[in-house]
Amino acid sequence: MSAQSGSENLLIKRHPDAPSYLSGNDLGPWGIYLEQIDRVAPHLGKLGFWIETLKRPKRALIVDVPIQLDDGRVTHFEGYRVQHNTSRGPGKGGVRFHQDVTLSEVMALSAWMSIKNAAVNVPYGGAKGGIRVDPKKLSRAELQRMTRRYTSEIGILLGPDKDIPAPDVNTDAQIMAWMMDTYSMNQGATVSGVVTGKPISLGGSLGRREATGRGVFVVGIEAMKHLNMPMHGARVAVQGFGNVGSVAGQLFMHAGAKVVAVQDHTASLYCEAGLDADALAAHVAVNGGIRGYIDAKAEVQNISNESFWSVPADILIPAALENQITVHNADKIKARLVLEGANGPTTPAADDILKDKGTTVVPDVIANAGGVTVSYFEWVQDFSMFFWTEDEINERLARIMREAFAAVWQVAQDKNVSLRTAAFIVACTRILTAREVRGLYP
């Protein structure tokens, strides 16, 4: 057995910093996050004194979300909002609707938001929310009632200067509109800055919908320059063809790369000549997934979910859920560059395998930070009631992403650590510096 599998076994032992309210030995995504913090701790010098702050969320709220179904029955869902850290500013992070959402997952996602916001230096702490529900099983009216009741229940934590939700898995601009309206109704005044990712007609920002995928593309270009990888003809494999994966795939294709493989919850496709990412995105918009896509010009093969990981590709973009690249498939990956569009797609043990193979992983906290960066622009525009052009937004987004990437790349070189540990060093230094200078209350 390799050292890597030994490290994955850490999750089977109970992590010494596990909070009492997460039961069992497998702490899920929170266990992975704690392990990432263990890896950065030795690099923080005197600030390490405050590391404990990062190992527990500041606040975690669990709410009951009862709604009346269209047929008259009442059903209950479990909802969460976790604020991991607010040392650098209000809590910020998305809300996901998914049947597998757990407290551990929302805690980890909120912590990754703290790290991400600090890594790209937007003035926020980290937060995340979720409801354990399969939203596809609800009617639109039920979805609206659930969103509104959840928003009301977590309303005690929210506010444009306290905690600002945004879209995440299975949530979109319409859901943000309902959240903004519910919060505003409870306040008795329209508060557009309480959520980001809103429709443009409500104070949303141009470029926000595409921002996460665009950010993946921008850091991809930077990483390719360092690795001397040509864009023209670069083979790209994308897991997840939702808001993040589709936009990233389209931008890579239009820049001259070939999207050779795509996987989502409905199918895995391979096309040596390169899929038409625009046509595939249009197919997904109509059909809810990539299954059944036929290309007029090229041969598209259905492949097994397992063989997706070993397709010949130069760049792999996991843009679905966490825990996808593990000890079970990391050694099969052929790509030289992994761009994490999803949050938490790679386990620490898989990180080690990829590092040993010489694969460069641009971690989630940098690679997918484009979304929250444009959320920050939206929030600033809502406060000032002055709106920017899409070009201004894309240009500022690219600048922030390039600068953040360059800083993290430099730390990785200087300290001979992975880009993930380097991003954590940059971010934890910013968070803990703020924490130290604020001092301990009372």
Catalytic residues: 128
Minimum distance between the CB of residue 160 and ligand GLU, rounded to whole angstroms?
Answer: 13
Site for ligand GLU in 285-344 (CB under 6 A): 343
Token pair listed for 225: 């320059």
Rule CB under 6 A: is residue 214 a binding residue for ligand GLU? no
CA dist 328 → 24, 27, 188, 312, 317 (Å) = 23, 19, 53, 18, 18
Binding piece for ligand GLU, criterion CB under 6 A, among 46-54, 262-270, 365-373, 428-436 = 365-373
The secondary structure of residue 406, as a DSSP letter, is: H
Minimum distance between the CB of residue 73 and ligand GLU, rounded to whole angstroms?
Answer: 31
User: Which residues contact residue 223 at a Cβ distance below 8 angstroms, ignoring those fewer than 6 apart?
Assistant: 229, 337, 339, 360, 362, 405
Residue keyed to tokens 């670069």: 234
Burial of 362 (0-12, 13-18, 19+ CB in 10 A): buried
Contact mark string toward ligand GLU, 38..67, x via CB under 6 A: ------------------------------
Nearer to ligand GLU, 346 or 375 (CB): 375
Nearer to ligand GLU, 170 or 263 (CB): 170
Site for ligand GLU in 191-210 (CB under 6 A): 196
Interacting residue with ligand GLU among 317, 320, 371, 411 (CB under 6 A): 371
Rule CB under 6 A: is residue 168 a binding residue for ligand GLU? yes
The secondary structure of residue 304, as a DSSP letter, is: -
Neighbours of 187 (CB within 10 A): 13
The CA distance from 285 to 442, in Å, is: 53
Contact mark string toward ligand GLU, 77..106, x via CB under 6 A: ---------------xxx------------
Nearer to ligand GLU, 92 or 355 (CB): 92
Token pair listed for 442: 């009372």
Three-class SS string for 19-45? CCCCCCCCCCHHHHHHHHHHHHHHHCH
Nearer to ligand GLU, 209 or 283 (CB): 209
Minimum distance between the CB of residue 401 and ligand GLU, rounded to whole angstroms?
Answer: 13
CA atoms within 13 A on the CB side of 119: 32
Residue keyed to tokens 């910013």: 430
Token pair listed for 46: 């005197």
Contact mark string toward ligand GLU, 373..392, x via CB under 6 A: --x-----------------
Q: Which amino acid is at 190?
A: T
Minimum distance between the CB of residue 199 and ligand GLU, rounded to whole angstroms?
Answer: 15
The CA distance from 292 to 289, in Å, is: 8
Per the CB < 8 A criterion, the answer to whether 365 and 341 are in contact is no
> Closest-CB residue for ligand GLU?
94
Per the CB < 8 A criterion, the answer to whether 344 and 109 are in contact is yes
The CA distance from 362 to 387, in Å, is: 31
Nearer to ligand GLU, 275 or 393 (CB): 393
How many positions of this chain bind ligand GLU (CB under 6 A)? Answer: 11
Minimum distance between the CB of residue 168 and ligand GLU, rounded to whole angstroms?
Answer: 4
Angle, CA of 412, 415 and 417, to the nearest 5°: 55
Minimum distance between the CB of residue 198 and ligand GLU, rounded to whole angstroms?
Answer: 11
Binding piece for ligand GLU, criterion CB under 6 A, among 184-192, 311-319, 366-374, 418-426 = 366-374
Rule CB under 6 A: is residue 166 a binding residue for ligand GLU? yes
The CA distance from 165 to 397, in Å, is: 20
Per the CB < 8 A criterion, the answer to whether 337 and 258 are in contact is no
Nearer to ligand GLU, 11 or 367 (CB): 367
Interacting residue with ligand GLU among 277, 372, 411, 434 (CB under 6 A): 372
Phi, psi of 415 (to 5 degrees): -100, 0
Nearer to ligand GLU, 55 or 96 (CB): 96
Minimum distance between the CB of residue 89 and ligand GLU, rounded to whole angstroms?
Answer: 12
Nearer to ligand GLU, 165 or 274 (CB): 165
Interacting residue with ligand GLU among 53, 368, 394, 421 (CB under 6 A): 368
Residue keyed to tokens 């979910």: 305
Minimum distance between the CB of residue 269 and ligand GLU, rounded to whole angstroms?
Answer: 26
**Residues contributing to the site for ligand GLU (CB under 6 A):** 92-94, 166, 168, 196, 343, 368, 371-372, 375
